[in-house]
Amino acid sequence: MSSPALDREGIARVDRNSLMADVLAIPEHLRDALWRFESAAGLMEEWDSPGGLIVAGMGGSAIGGGLARAILGDHASRPVAVARAYGLPPWATPDTTVLCASYSGNTEETLACYDAAGFVGARRVVVTSGGKLAEQARADGVPVIPIPGGFQPRAAVAYLTVATLEVAALCGVCTRMNSEVDVAASHVETLCAEWGPDGPDDGLAKTIARGINGTIPLIAGSGLTAPIAYRWKTQLNENAKLPAFSHELPELDHNEIVGWEGVDSLGPFSAIFLDDADLHPRVRHRIELTDWLVEPGAKATFRIETQGRNPVERVFSLVLLGDLVSMYVAVLRGIDPSPVAVIERLKEQLAGR
């Protein structure tokens, strides 16, 4: 039986809600995110938050916080944390800014964090497409950064990352990176043509997808690429409906690497290492050695480096690649990438209690 075609026609057969179009629109989303921030009411003046920035969110709504923190790196003069819970870190104070990120505006954990931030007197900002969060924020006079509706939350990654970067600049964590975002949008457009459905059949994204199809992928990152590895994992979970796992080097070499000794009795695994030219030289050497050590037990291994000059370009080069890989694996499996029925069932059960 021949493998499904990874072109537009082959993708359309399973991608019934056109999620691929949202992936390929990341460059447009980056540009639109800047405009939406600049047009948001109540965000005209900077303020000072010596306690740093907390991004409160869950799932696809939280990933922007992790990616923004990686982009800022050493340029962040104050802490940037991500709270994936029903409450804020205990160190949150009135000197902290809390960005409540919920694509739907109805995420119960994020609504709880919004209330907690108000209780401690922290400065609040909201990024959402609507829902209870937008309604409550507007009633409280809290600024709302509006993002367009109609997406799967995970497809709004560019909007949520840019919103975090912009709020970080407003509260004194860093300087604005709007120029870098503009440059990244153009760079990602080029990569969409190279790796997307209209690109060559032996393009990088299609090659990786075929290599890891039928396996349990383990994705490793470090520093800048650590949150991208987690993004790859969650995209494979939701789009390809596969178990996938992520870890961070050098920690991986102190535990997980030993587990590869048992893969023969468990099933096919693959390994993907996300590299970056600015990683510590010893970490880059560890990636090379770890790849070599696990390769005998893996169905496939890949070592992939970020592309681009500024951190926004480099991060979104691999965000795009991972999103495309997850979409192509879904096509190879004959699975519509959009529905997340088990999450909907979980929410229904939670709502009943």
Catalytically active residues, by annotation: 238, 254, 347
Q: What is the CA radius of gyration of the chain?
A: 20
Q: Which two tokens stand for residue 240?
A: 């390809």
Task: Round to whole Å and give the CA distance between 32 and 322.
Answer: 22
Give strand pairing partners of 114: none
Contact 143/40 with Cβ under 8 angstroms? Answer: yes
Q: What are phi and psi of 179, to 5 degrees?
A: -65, -40
Query: Is there a cis peptide before residue 250, judged by omega within 30 degrees of 0?
Result: yes
Distances (CA, A) of 332 to 3, 4, 12, 267, 348: 7, 6, 12, 19, 30
Q: Can you list the pairs that 131-139 forms with residues at least 24 positions away whose Cβ atoms lie under 8 Å?
A: 131/102, 131/104, 131/105, 131/106, 132/105, 132/106, 133/100, 133/102, 133/105, 133/106, 133/107, 134/105, 135/105, 136/111, 137/100
User: Which residue type is seen at 96?
Assistant: T
Angle between helices 63-72 and 311-333 (to 10 degrees): 140
- Give 350's contacts (C-beta < 8 A, 6+ positions apart): 108
Can you tell me which residue has the tokens 């560019």?
A: 158
Query: What sections of the chain are H helices per DSSP?
Result: 8-12, 19-24, 26-38, 63-72, 108-120, 131-140, 157-170, 178-195, 204-212, 226-238, 256-259, 281-294, 311-333, 341-351
Q: What are phi and psi of 144, to 5 degrees?
A: -120, 125
